[in-house]
């Protein structure tokens, strides 16, 4: 049952549970989607929107262990015609036991095995889940460890209940790589995994489906470093695939705002150009729920048609290493400033509404997000906090880094590999509240740095940033109100939500 799959359809549209939506989901009147509602969300993503994959997230949030059983109970006739594991795919994102003290991994294993038993008894394709996503993958041996332990649990289950045969107990692994530094070292992660896989299973993995994160790399290294890092990772994935004669199907996890990836129904043509070589794109909550249905479906069709012909990334060795040096320049300026502004971001993040039932990232139940010497909120609340205060985080460190690389004669190299930089910053810049920054700059150095970043970016790229339509000006008014209300200790949650609705994403 759990065997290596040499031939399977690669999905292009992965709906995820990332809680970045400002609006209510189209299939309910709630913006907050509880764990019990996620079964219906899967159905709607598959059969109303046409997504062909859904990420079932067990990392950092509560998960319904009986979700697939509920799907079969409610929609059995539909799944008789659209088989899980053949036509539609549920891919489970497991907790990383090397980063958090988690007691959920064994439960995830048992849930997948139970779902396989159920679908077999219903005479459906089985197993319905055959891939795990391992977040924060740093070493190939971590992927092999998960494969080995899943196989052990499957064998133990078969021994205890001798009428259940799970085959070789093989689980396909998707390494989710979540930092610019790990993008640069991703070839080693994949090389080690391939070598260990051959040692354990006597063959190479049937294919590679590495997953590029976009939110956490931006949170940790800044917007431009994260965008360049994507190109670095894609180049390495395809290089390793070619070397080992393996098919490579990269995934990228992008949010709607530029800082988190810039994939949304209004920006799809320009943004998708940067991600050439990607075969699957995450369709997060804001994409699905904050835009008109017609626009959402048109954008999803465009993604499917474009990814089908997307070619691999080609970067010569000398440019590859130079690009990583550019990443470090952007990252240094970003981190130095973000450490100074962190207290304000954390204070604002407390007012950002939640959209999923998350486990608190403290103590036994999780891990924090750290940049330098400071702790920050998770990427969505971080981005939402910055936009709510009137300074899009895309600009942090960017102008000073542009000045530096221009002095080094590397600006053309940047534009070659990030030609849409001006386009993305122009979009973010519509939500800039320069007056807020000027007021903070009278007493806080980080605001001075950010004003310098904006001015330098304008001069070097030849763009004027700021509102240019009525809803942008309304957003500016709201962020001014948010600033004043926070200083006066007045409730500001309604203003935060109204601003998020205007930009069509929480964060």
- pLDDT band (50, 70, 90) for residue 102: low
Is residue 305 pLDDT above 60, yes or no? yes
Average pLDDT of the chain is 94
N-term to C-term CA, the chain: 41
Name the burial class of residue 173, with classes exposed (0-12), middle (13-18) and buried (19+) by CB atoms within 10 angstroms of its CB. buried
Give mean pLDDT, residues 353-378.
65
Sign of the Cα torsion 363, 365, 371, 375 reads: negative
Predicted confidence at residue 60, as pLDDT, reads 72
- What's the burial of 313, exposed, middle or buried (CB within 10 Å: 0-12/13-18/19+)? buried
Q: Which helix H or strand E contains 173, and what residues bound it?
A: strand 172-177
Q: Give the pair of three-digit tokens for residue 424.
A: 């993305």
- According to the model, what pLDDT value does residue 363 have? 33
Cα separation, 132 vs 57, in Å, equals 10
Average pLDDT over residues 231-259: 97
**Mean pLDDT computed over 499-505:** 98
**Is the model's pLDDT at 364 over the cut of 60?**
no
Torsion of CA 423, 429, 431, 436, to 10 degrees: 170
Taking only the tens place, the pLDDT of each residue in 397-411 is: 999 999 999 999 999
Cα–Cα distance for residue pair 264/305, rounded to 1 Å: 16
Could you give the 3-state DSSP secondary structure of residue 44? helix
Residue 367 has a pLDDT of 43
Tell me the pLDDT tens digit for each residue of 441-491: 999 999 999 999 999 999 999 999 999 999 999 999 999 999 999 999 999
> Residue 303: is its pLDDT beyond 70?
yes
Residue of 82, 99, 115, 104 lying closest to 9 (CA atoms): 82
Both tokens of 454, joined, read 């904006």
CB neighbour class for 26 (10 Å; exposed up to 12, middle 13-18, buried from 19): middle
Rounded average pLDDT over 186-208 = 98
Q: What single DSSP character describes residue 208?
A: B
Q: Which of 365-379, 397-411, 432-446 has the lowest mean pLDDT?
A: 365-379
Mean pLDDT of 93-101: 87
Q: What is the pLDDT of residue 101?
A: 65
What does each C-alpha distance from 401 to 75, 206, 224, 341 come to in angstroms? Answer: 53, 42, 9, 18
CB of 437 closer than 8 Å to CB of 451: yes
pLDDT tens, residue by residue, 7-41: 899 999 999 999 999 999 999 999 999 999 999 99
Q: How would residue 242 be classed by pLDDT, with cut points 50, 70 and 90?
A: very high
pLDDT confidence bin for 357, thresholds 50/70/90: confident
The sign of the CA dihedral 466, 272, 249, 285 is positive
Section 262-268 average pLDDT: 95
DSSP per-residue letters across 236-270? HHHHHHHHHT--B--EEE--SSGGGT--STTTHHH
Which pLDDT belongs to residue 225?
A: 98
The stretch 185-200 carries a mean pLDDT of: 98
Q: Which domains does the chain have, with CATH numbers?
A: 13-308 (3.20.20.60), 317-503 (no CATH)
Asked whether the beta carbons of 322 and 248 are under 8 A apart, the reply is no
pLDDT of residue 359: 59
Nearest to 242 by CA among 190, 184, 302: 190
Question: At residue 365, does pLDDT exceed 80?
Answer: no
Sequence-distant (6+) residues with CB within 8 A of 17 are 33, 38, 41, 55, 57, 61, 285, 356
Percent above pLDDT 70 for the chain: 96
Is pLDDT of 314 > 90? no
pLDDT given at position 397: 98
Nearest CA among 385, 472, 387, 355 for reference residue 22 = 355
pLDDT over 90, % of the chain: 86
pLDDT for 362 equals 37
Name the more confident of 361 and 205. Answer: 205
């Amino acid at each position: 049952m759990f065997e290596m799959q040499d031939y399977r359809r690669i999905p292009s549209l992965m709906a995820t549970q990332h809680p970045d939506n400002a609006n209510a989901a189209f299939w309910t009147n709630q913006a907050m989607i509880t764990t019990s509602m996620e079964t219906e969300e899967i159905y709607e993503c598959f059969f109303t929107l046409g997504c062909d994959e859904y990420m079932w997230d067990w990392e950092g949030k509560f998960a319904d262990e009986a979700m697939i059983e509920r799907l079969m109970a409610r929609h059995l006739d539909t799944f008789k015609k659209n088989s899980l594991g053949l036509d539609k795919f549920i891919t489970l994102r497991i907790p990383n036991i090397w980063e958090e003290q988690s007691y959920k991994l064994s439960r995830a294993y048992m849930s997948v095995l139970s779902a396989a038993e159920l679908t077999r008894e219903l005479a459906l394709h089985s197993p319905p889940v055959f891939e795990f996503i391992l977040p924060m993958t740093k070493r190939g041996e971590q992927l092999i460890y998960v494969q080995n332990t899943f196989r052990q649990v499957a064998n133990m289950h078969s021994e205890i209940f001798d009428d259940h045969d799970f085959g070789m107990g093989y689980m396909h692994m998707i390494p989710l790589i979540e930092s610019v530094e790990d993008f640069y070292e991703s070839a080693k992660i994949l090389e080690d995994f391939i070598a260990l896989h051959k040692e354990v299973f006597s063959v190479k993995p049937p294919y590679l489906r590495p997953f590029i994160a976009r939110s956490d790399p931006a949170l940790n290294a800044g917007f431009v470093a994260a965008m360049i890092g994507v190109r670095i990772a894609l180049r390495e994935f395809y290089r390793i695939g070619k070397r080992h004669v393996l098919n490579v199907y990269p995934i990228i996890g992008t949010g709607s705002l530029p800082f988190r990836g810039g994939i949304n129904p209004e920006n799809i043509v320009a943004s998708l150009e940067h991600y050439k070589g990607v075969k699957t794109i995450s369709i997060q909550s804001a994409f699905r729920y904050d835009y008109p249905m017609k626009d959402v479906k048109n954008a999803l069709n465009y993604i499917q048609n474009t990814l089908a012909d997307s070619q691999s990334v080609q970067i010569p060795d000398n440019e590859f290493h130079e690009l990583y040096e550019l990443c470090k320049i952007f990252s240094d300026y970003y981190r130095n400033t973000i450490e100074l502004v962190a207290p304000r971001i954390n204070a604002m993040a407390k007012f950002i509404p939640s959209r999923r039932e998350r486990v608190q990232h403290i103590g036994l139940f999780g891990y924090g997000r750290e940049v330098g010497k400071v702790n920050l909120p998770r990427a969505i609340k971080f981005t939402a906090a910055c936009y709510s205060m009137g300074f899009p985080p895309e600009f942090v460190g960017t102008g000073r880094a542009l000045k530096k690389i221009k002095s080094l004669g590397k600006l053309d190299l940047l534009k070659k590999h990030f030609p849409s930089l001006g386009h993305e910053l122009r979009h973010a810049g519509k939500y800039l509240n320069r007056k807020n920054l000027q007021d903070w700059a009278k007493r806080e150095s980080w605001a001075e740095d950010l004003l310098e970043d904006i001015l330098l970016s304008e001069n070097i790229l030849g763009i004027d940033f700021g509102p240019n339509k009525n809803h942008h000006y309304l957003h500016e008014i709201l962020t001014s109100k948010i600033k004043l209300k926070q200083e006066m200790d007045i409730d500001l949650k309604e203003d935060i939500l109204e601003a998020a609705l205007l930009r069509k994403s929480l964060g």
